[in-house]
Structures are given as structure tokens and as C-alpha cells.
Copies of this chain bind each other. A is one copy, B any other.
Amino acid sequence: MSIVIVGSVAVDTIETPNGKVERALGGSATYSSIVASCFCPVSLVGVVGEDFSRRHRSVLEARKIDLRGLETIAGGKTFFWHGRYGSDPNERETLVTELNVFEKFSPVLPESYRSTGYLFLGNIDPDLQHSVLDQVGDGACVGCDTMNFWIENKPESLAALLGRIDILFVNDGEAAQLTGETNAIRAARAILAMGPSAVVIKKGEHGAMLMTETFRFVTPAFPLENVFDPTGAGDSFAGGFMGCLAAAGDTGESTLKRAMVFGTVSASFTCEDFSVARLEKLDYGDIRRRFNEFAGMTAVGREI
């Protein structure tokens, strides 16, 4: 099956101890779409300005991502972010955020997108996430990301949204903020009570936990010798996770567990170079090889 991905498409200037890249391709929908395109056909919904370069667009086109849902605003400028990482990749400082055309983003799904079986709502205003859901059929499996800003500023819209989605992706800090529980299991259980049938709590370099009503699954991160640029790792995790579900065409326990590992290894590739540089060259064979390497690094048989 194919997947529709809605979120930000951006231009990023990123500084890390490894160097600096200026006006590189970024945005939540960008990372998750490129990764998901290794698994299944992807249709993107987003907005850019006239300054969005042919080179940037060609990266998405090369992945055969359907861009009929990518609106270009005449005379507008693309969402711009400038951030800097210290020697600890978990500490990042935002130097500039210019929302530009993203400030007035009002996602409109082309007719052909609306019957999608799989939908990923990247981190945008929950009001907009609602409007996307209003445009798709009831049968879609919906994954959703959010962030501290919306938890603080749009709690009611977000609460209503949680009743309409299947899988919530949050990091550990957001899960604590959303539920008041610092323990990951209690936070996950509280989130399940809010509506989703599954929740993924991401812990960056410390891995992730999936919890549903019937089982839980934990993964360490794929150990990397050099975290070159962690920008987009969480979006890539969600892209690999949702791409796996769409490709499998089911959301059973075994597929959800595989999706956790696909998310984990997808995120690891993203961290290996600036922006989407590593993802541009990524294919399913690379992902599968690292999946198997990861399985070998974590697998033990049962003890009789």
C-alpha cells in the first residue's frame, strides 16, 4: 500500500562540531517521506516558497514521491531553521526560526490522496492535523507526531486529536509533559487511555519503547560511532515505522515489532551525514542489511 505524509518541508542551516551546511533540505515531512519511500509509494502534503530550489525538489522527485500535494506560494519564502549542536548531540540551540509560508499552511489533499490506507501526520498544529483527518476516509491507519509547543498551547485540540489517531510518536520529555508521568510505562499507559491503540516513546540515542493494550516492545538505538548530524532522526524513525506498516498492509503485533526496528535503523542512517545527504543514497537493501545487523546485536533465544 501507499502512504500520505503531511508536515513541514523546510530549508535548514545546521552547525555541528563536524562542520556546517547552509540552506540544506529539511522538514519533518521531508525526512519521513524520503525514508518511507524506501518501503512504499509516498504522497507528500506540504508548502514551500518560491525560493525552494530545483535541486531540493529534485531530491524528493528522485524518490518518486508524489508532490501534487506540495503547494508553492508565489512570492513566499520556505520555512527556514538554523540550529547548532554542541559536542553532545542531544543539546541543540535554535538560532533562527522563520515560519514564512508555513505560518499560513492549510493542508489540502489532492483527491487521489484521500482514500489512502496509511497516513502520517508530522508535527504541525493539531488544528491542521484535524483538518487533514477530515479529508481522509475513516479506514486509514493514522500515525501522528506532536511536540511540547502544542502540548502547552493547544491541549484541547490535541486531546481531541488523540481520539482520532492510531499511533502516537512522542519523545520521553513530551510523553511526561502530556501525561504528568515521568516513568515511561505509566506515561505510555496514560496515552493509550487518551485514544491511540499504540504509542511509541522515543529516547534518541537511548532507543524507543512501543506499547499497546496487549504488548510492549523495547529497542536500543542502533549504536553509531559518530553521530554526524541528528537533525531529522525522529522524523526518519516515524517514516521507517509507518513505511513498514504501509508496505506490510497490516498492523499486527509482529508487523509493529518489525516497524520499531525499521524505525530504529532508519533514524541511524539519517544521523550519518548532514541533512538528507545519507538518505538520498539510501535504499531498502541498505535498510534490510542494517535491520539484520541490529537483529544480530539484540537477539537471544528463549531459555528453556
Known: A206-B203, A297-B217, A298-B217. A184 touches B257 (CB 8 A): no
Q: A186 contacts the other chain (Cβ, under 8 Å)? A: yes
Interface stretch of the complex, out of A20-28, A155-163, A223-231, A234-242: A223-231
Q: A115 contacts the other chain (Cβ, under 8 Å)? A: no
In the complex, chain B residues whose CB is within 8 Å of the CB of A291: 300, 302-303
Q: Contact flags (1/0) for A190-225 with B, using CB distance below 8 Å?
A: 000000000000010011010000011111110111
In the complex, chain B residues whose CB is within 8 Å of the CB of A94: none
Of chain B, the residue at the smallest CB distance from A206 is B206
How many residues on A have C-beta within 8 angstroms of the other chain's C-beta atoms? 39
Q: How far is the CA of A67 from the CA of B296 in the complex (A)?
A: 40
Those of A251-304 within 8 Å (CB) of chain B: 257-258, 260-261, 288, 291-292, 295-303
In the complex, chain B residues whose CB is within 8 Å of the CB of A224: 183, 185
Of chain B, the residue at the smallest CB distance from A227 is B183
Q: How far is the CA of A295 from the CA of B203 in the complex (A)?
A: 20
CB–CB A257/B183 < 8 A: no
CB–CB A220/B223 < 8 A: no
Partner of A220, one of B87, B219, B295, B300: B219
Q: How far is the CA of A298 from the CA of B296 in the complex (A)?
A: 11
Q: How far is the CA of A88 from the CA of B172 in the complex (A)?
A: 14
Known: A299-B299, A302-B292. A206 touches B207 (CB 8 A): yes
CB–CB B298/A292 < 8 A: no
CB–CB A225/B183 < 8 A: yes
Q: Shortest beta-carbon distance, A177 to chain B, in Å?
A: 15
Q: How far is the CA of A216 from the CA of B223 in the complex (A)?
A: 9
Of chain B, the residue at the smallest CB distance from A302 is B292
Those of A67-93 within 8 Å (CB) of chain B: 87-88
CB–CB A182/B295 < 8 A: no
- Identify the 5 closest CB pairs spanning chains A and B, nearest first: A206-B206, A218-B220, A185-B225, A288-B303, A292-B302
Task: Name A residues whose Cβ lies closer than 8 Å to a Cβ of B.
Answer: 87-88, 182-186, 203, 206-207, 209, 215-221, 223-227, 257-258, 260-261, 288, 291-292, 295-303
Sampled A-B contacts (22; CB under 8 Å): A87-B182, A183-B224, A183-B225, A183-B227, A185-B223, A206-B206, A206-B207, A207-B207, A207-B220, A216-B297, A217-B297, A218-B223, A218-B298, A258-B300, A260-B300, A261-B300, A291-B300, A291-B303, A292-B302, A295-B302, A298-B299, A299-B300
